[in-house]
Structure 1
């Protein structure tokens, strides 16, 4: 059996996902492979949360923690998360999912190794033979252990296998550019994922690597990836948002730089844009919003809500109410947008039921509306 890695999306995804690399879950083919992403609140996860709406509330709390951490990181780059598609790292309270003593390719890193001395992850040495680390994550969770290298083998349904050698770290599943990232060991600079709706407990999300991440066809749109902060973050350029006949233009400059992040569930927009967005929604929705003292714009469940278009450079992404409103209670759905005037974020709710593909060679990200519950 191939190893099981806990990385709870991320995608270091609070997507908070586990990647389950088992025989029945992994498919490998011509130059690519795919894995299932198991959400931390899924019945398949040891952290399963059976309270349906509590999951959404806690995801928003984690999301807010994450954005605060990212804001601090932008002011202090030494504290930045060493990956760009992020998921919270969970403390391993459920027992080890991977036993290194059973692996022939696992090797602890020594304190004298170049990686141990160069890693941005806080670390220390009990003795010269072991490089220990501890790392607090954006949502308040943490991980600690021993930095090591390992070869991951992905079993193929056709009988072959795909090997990714010399993976660094322990507990972090990275898809940034750093040497600690799994992605830095991939061949062609491509990965993609398809996220199922947060309240769908019967389905799992899929992640593809290398050639398996390539998709094309009708409905696919692409926009340039903007690299800021070195290897740490991916940004997109958001030019406007459309609701009905109302087009909200974003001012040129910093306001258009939107962090593309699968760890935060909500979108984070500046106050001025948020106010225009709420006003436009109220104009096109035929019924008044309901009062909710704890949240912003909310409507009765079942209310007919309008689609929105997020206009990125060269790509219009049409979002349905599934992407723009969150089911908070049995009777209420609330807008999946949070006001923030320091950091603007395109979160994972807006990415659900889309194939999202990263091409880091051509520096672009592609979107294709998809029913992600169908493999």
Structure 2
């Protein structure tokens, strides 16, 4: 996205934005007018007024490693919500494999895309807004591995209680509360018994192994089952991830119970995701992320 900011400052000091993985940025907001380019038409532009742009002074966690962060959360301060309201309250993105060549690119689009009809197996599930602010929550009913539903207490998925699940593009790993994490690891472990476990922790990856001779076909399919019947079946490489040369790790990290589980951006890779903020639904489908390239 290309945008130009025009000076129209309304400074709000000492604003803190915290992410689902605990990362945070502390700084000031500036109320700006930004100019965005429309799609692939280089000369078509639109001005958007009263857009909050943050200038961080302190960065902690994963945000420390980047030049900037675009807020996609559901709040009045979110860049995504402000821009989406100009284009039908819909935005979408597609994330390529994190190990893809440099000429492959993720993309973010605002507005409903007619090309969505070309995607196969597009599914929709309810998008729950305003309950776990500013995150996008979904109604997960369970997780299956190899077609067998795991024995995970229903309270883990209860968004009105002490659990619930959010889908978060700003968190890399998929985080599961202990009541879900342990059954998932236990179900995958027998399929990896022939590979030497490594006594290392790579960032927050706790289960790593020597991947010599490993084939993805050895691992059964994992699926997230939504309460309304939709199923998200990520590719194996999204949950058995390359962590280093000759090293694979289970792409899950445990978090304390009670708490909210997180479907992170590595798990979301190679899928198209559409957030309909008015219809309150989340659409998703497998994608190479090379089709729907027009952007705002």
Q: Deviation of residue 352 (structure 1)? A: 0.6
Kept in 1: contact 2:146–2:222 (CA 8 A)? yes
The answer on whether the counterparts of 1:324 and 1:336 sit within 8 Å (CA) in structure 2 is yes
Match of 1:211 in 2: 112
* Residue 102 of structure 2 is aligned to residue 199 of structure 1: no
Aligned CA distance change for structure 1 residues 319 and 170 (closer, same or farther; 3 Å) = same
Q: TM-score, normalised by structure 2?
A: 0.75
Which residue pairs with 1:311 in the alignment?
Answer: 225
Corresponding residue number in structure 2 for 1:175: 72
The whole-number CA distance in structure 1 between the counterparts of 2:153 and 2:23 is: 33
For residue 253 of structure 1, report the CA deviation from its aligned partner. 3.4
Q: Sort the Cα spacing of 1:248 and 1:214 in 2 relative to 1 into closer, same or farther, 3 A.
A: farther
Among candidates 141, 147, 151, match of residue 34 of structure 2: 151
Write the distance in 1 (CA, Å) between the matches of 2:111 and 2:146: 38
Stretches of structure 2 that go unaligned for 5 or more consecutive residues are: 55-68, 159-163
- Indicate the SS of the match to 1:241: strand
1:161 and 2:44 correspond: yes
Between Structure 1 and Structure 2, which shows a larger proportion of strand residues?
Answer: 2
CA-to-aligned-CA distance 1:65-87 (integer Å, 9 cap, x gap): xxxxxxxxxxxxxxxxxxxxxxx
Alignment partners' CA distance in 1, 2:74 and 2:271: 24
Post-superposition offset of 1:371: 1.1
**Separation (CA, whole Å) in 2 of partners of 1:346 and 1:176:** 14
Q: Distance in 2 between matches of 1:150 and 1:319?
A: 39
Q: Which runs of 5+ in 1 are unaligned?
A: 1-19, 23-97, 110-115, 117-122, 125-132
TM-score computed with the length of structure 1 as normaliser: 0.60
Q: CA deviation at 1:334?
A: 0.4
The 8 Å contact of residues 238 and 250 in structure 1, kept in 2 or not, is answered as: no
Superposed, 1:3-22 pairs within 5 Å as 20-21=1-2
Cross-structure match for 1:188: 88
Alignment: residue pair count? 256
Is residue 259 of structure 1 aligned with residue 176 of structure 2?
A: no
Quote the residue 1:297 is aligned against.
Answer: 207
Partner-residue secondary structure (3-state), 1:211: coil
| 3-state SS of paired residue (2:150) | strand
CA contact (8 A) 1:297 1:335 kept: yes
The answer as to whether partners of 2:74 and 2:136 remain within 8 angstroms in 1 is: no
Where 2:206 maps in the other structure, the secondary structure is coil
Residue in 1 that maps onto 2:245: 330
Shift of 1:176: 3.6
Write out aligned runs for 1:82-121 (5 A): 103=6, 106-109=7-10
Q: Give the Cα–Cα distance (whole angstroms) in 2 for the partners of residues 245 and 368 of structure 1.
A: 19
CA distance in 1, matches of 2:70, 2:44: 20
How many angstroms apart in 1 are the aligned matches of 2:265 and 2:278? 23
